[in-house]
């Protein structure tokens, strides 16, 4: 140690050059490391698994019926998912729980997609009863991991001189799709107002004239349109699910549906787009308020992701009327920025002290 100190004092230039090289290598590594709020290794951990739980609720049924109608079909279909490590189930009266374990690696975002495809197939083919309520959730190891994957990364609010559902419609049609299209966005949740639906108002006089009932009209509409999986298209580099979907995409297509030969829906009903009753009401400065939560995909660079979302929000703001505001109320990257600034200050102080000691 004494020899090293003597050498350092006699050759300060050499020591400074060596330090400069080490600092440059460190800075290069620092710049290229993906920045996360709560880092999780992309290579995963051999001792950790990624768990997905499928919950099914079918009130009034015995454990034996639940096991035969829900638990067993889920097990039989999900066991075919590649890289599955373990599958466990628990069945009680009215409830079923199936837990799937996968490697905790960079492919885990695809495991959830595969599980959803399996459940979708079971529901659409009628293997799982329609009365059963199915839910899929990720089981997190701890609170930090839950925050990483289940808490919104950025939250912003839209406020303007509109009726609440008008503001919700602006958000649904003009704002949310642009945010959702950004690379790195895993999900978006909207709070305030209510989701819209298509309302078909039947004319009672026309129903009597053509001897029709609401039930018959519903059956005619349902039998003419299909949404189902037809299998997969496989190639060397892709594996895609093939869907058949001929559902109407506009009001006019819906109005042109034939209820009976020579009679369309347009002749016996009016169609409007309406909103369900609002379950949450928020206001700011006396005006309606909508909250949007943006969720980030794992392993996305936190600072770059925040920058993209903020730029898009600012661009949307510039296109809206002056009276409409978009305000960011939460951004997890701010915590990270503060830590980086603090790190820079500490690094500068340490380097200054070393420089003063050498000289």
Dihedral of CA atoms 265, 267, 268, 269 in degrees, nearest 10, equals 70
| CA distances for 115 relative to 61, 138, 318, angstroms | 24, 11, 41
Q: HSE (CB half, 13 Å, CA atoms) of 128?
A: 25
User: Is there a single domain that holds both residue 116 and residue 262?
Assistant: no
Tell me if 161 is assigned to some domain. yes
Inside any domain, residue 204? yes
> Percentage of the chain with pLDDT > 70?
79
pLDDT on residue 158: 92
Is 3 inside any structural domain? no
Domain contains 178: yes
Q: Indicate the pLDDT class of residue 274, thresholds 50, 70 and 90.
A: confident
Please enumerate in sequence order all residues whose Cβ is within 8 A of that of 219, keeping only pairs 6 or more positions apart, or say none: none
Name the band, by pLDDT with cuts 50, 70 and 90, for residue 42.
Answer: very low
Residue 348 lies in a domain: no
Residues 6+ positions from 320 with CB-CB distance below 8 Å: 160, 326
| pLDDT number for residue 313 | 92
CATH value at residue 187 = 3.30.70.1320
The reply to whether 117 and 210 lie within a common domain is no
pLDDT band of residue 43 (cuts 50, 70, 90) is very low
pLDDT digits (tens, 9 = 90+) for 321-346: 888 889 999 888 887 778 777 877 88
Whether 58 and 131 share a structural domain:
yes
Is pLDDT above 60 for 35? no
Residues of the domain holding 243: 198-275
Indicate the angle between helix axes 333-358 and 302-319, nearest 10 degrees.
130
Residue 248's CATH number: 3.30.2090.10
Question: Are 232 and 240 contacting, i.e. CB atoms less than 8 angstroms apart?
Answer: yes
Angle, vertex CA 195, rays to CA 134 and CA 265, nearest 5: 95
Give the mean model confidence (pLDDT) for residues 192-199: 77
Average pLDDT taken over every residue of the chain: 80
Grade residue 70 by pLDDT with cuts at 50, 70 and 90.
Answer: very high
202 and 82 in a common domain: no
Same domain, 77 and 128: yes
CB 152 within 8 A of CB 294: yes
Quick one: 54 and 138 in the same domain?
Answer: yes
pLDDT for 323 equals 85
Query: pLDDT value at position 89?
Result: 92
The two tokens of residue 149 are 């994957």
How many structural domains does the chain have? 3
- Residue 275 bridge partners (DSSP): 196
Q: For residue 165, tell me if it sits in a domain.
A: yes
Q: Are 139 and 283 in the same domain?
A: no
Residue of 111, 74, 114 lying closest to 90 (CA atoms): 74
Same domain, 191 and 296: yes
With 0-12 / 13-18 / 19 or more C-beta atoms within 10 angstroms meaning exposed / middle / buried, residue 128 is: buried
CA neighbours closer than 13 Å in the CB half-sphere of residue 182: 25
- Residue 104's CATH number: 3.30.70.1430
In a domain, 214, yes or no: yes
Statement to judge: residues 290 and 322 lie in one domain? yes
Say how many C-beta atoms besides its own lie within 10 A of residue 160's C-beta. Answer: 19
Q: pTM to 2 decimals?
A: 0.54
HEC readout, the chain: CHHHHHHHHHCHHHHHHHHHHHHHHHHHHHHHCCCCCCCCCCCCCCCCEEEEEEEEECCCCCHHHHHHHHHHHHHHHHCCCCCCCEEEEEEECCEEEEEEEEECCCCHHHHHHHHHHHHHHHHHCCCCCCCCEEEEEEECCCHHHHHHHHCCCEEEEEEECCCHHHHHHHHHHHHHHHHHCCCCEEEEEEECCCCEEEEEEECHHHHHHCCCCHHHHHHHHHHHCCEEEEEEEECCCCEEEEEEECCCCCHHHHHCCEEECCEEHHHCEEEEEEECCCCCCCEECCEEEEEEEEEECCCCCHHHHHHHHHHHHHHHHHHCCCCCEEEEEEECHHHHHHHHHHHHHHHHHHHHHHHHHHC
Tell whether 97 and 243 lie within a shared domain: no
Instruction: Using a pLDDT cut of 90, give the percent of the chain over it.
Output: 17
For residue 156, pLDDT beyond 90: yes
Average pLDDT (81-95) is 89
pLDDT at residue number 312: 93
Q: Is residue 252 part of a domain?
A: yes
**Segment 294-316, tens digit of pLDDT:** 988 766 788 888 999 999 999 99
Q: What is the pLDDT of residue 97?
A: 94
Q: What is the pLDDT of residue 294?
A: 92
The rounded distance, in Å, linking the Cα atoms of 77 and 125 is 13
Question: In which band, very low, low, confident or very high, does the pLDDT at 194 lie, cut at 50, 70 and 90?
Answer: confident
pLDDT tens digits, residue range 102-146?
Answer: 887 666 667 888 888 889 888 888 899 888 899 988 887 665 566
- Among the residue ranges 71-85, 181-195, 202-216, the one predicted with the least confidence is 181-195
The 10s digit of each residue's pLDDT in 220-250 is: 887 777 766 555 566 665 555 566 777 777 7
- Same domain as 61, residue 136: yes
**Claim to verify: residue 158 and residue 69 sit in the same structural domain:** no
Sign of the alpha-carbon torsion through 269, 270, 275, 277: negative
């Amino acid at each position: 140690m004494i020899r090293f100190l003597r050498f350092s004092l006699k050759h300060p230039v050499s020591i400074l050059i060596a330090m400069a090289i080490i600092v440059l290598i460190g800075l290069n590594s620092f710049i290229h490391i993906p920045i996360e709020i709560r880092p999780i290794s992309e290579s995963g951990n051999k001792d950790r698994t990624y768990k997905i739980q499928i919950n099914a609720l079918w009130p009034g049924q015995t454990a034996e019926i639940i096991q035969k109608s829900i638990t067993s079909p889920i097990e039989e279909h999900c066991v075919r998912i590649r890289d599955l490590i373990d599958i466990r189930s628990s069945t009680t009266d009215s409830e079923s729980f199936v837990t799937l374990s996968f490697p905790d690696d960079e492919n885990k975002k695809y495991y959830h997609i595969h599980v959803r495809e399996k459940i979708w197939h079971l529901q659409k083919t009628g293997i799982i009863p329609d009365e059963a309520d199915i839910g899929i959730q990720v089981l997190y190891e701890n609170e930090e991991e839950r925050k990483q994957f289940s808490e919104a990364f950025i939250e912003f609010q839209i406020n303007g001189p509109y009726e609440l559902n008008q503001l919700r419609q602006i958000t649904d049609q003009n704002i949310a799709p642009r945010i959702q299209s950004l690379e790195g966005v895993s999900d978006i949740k909207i709070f305030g107002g209510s989701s819209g639906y298509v309302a078909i108002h039947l004319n009672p006089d026309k129903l009597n004239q053509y001897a029709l009932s609401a039930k018959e009209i519903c059956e005619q509409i349902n039998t003419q349109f299909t949404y189902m999986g037809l299998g997969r298209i496989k190639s060397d580099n892709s594996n895609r699910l093939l869907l058949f979907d001929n559902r109407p995409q506009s009001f006019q297509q819906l109005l042109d549906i034939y209820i009976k030969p020579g009679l369309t829906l347009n002749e016996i009903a009016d169609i409007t787009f309406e909103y369900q009753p609002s379950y949450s009401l928020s206001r700011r400065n006396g005006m309606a308020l909508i909250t949007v939560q943006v969720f980030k995909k794992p392993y996305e660079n936190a600072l770059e992701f925040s920058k993209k979302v903020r730029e898009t929000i600012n661009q949307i703001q510039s296109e809206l009327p002056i009276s409409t505001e978009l305000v960011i109320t939460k951004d997890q990257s701010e915590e990270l920025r503060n830590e980086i600034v603090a790190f820079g200050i500490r690094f500068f102080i340490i380097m200054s002290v070393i420089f003063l000691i050498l000289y």
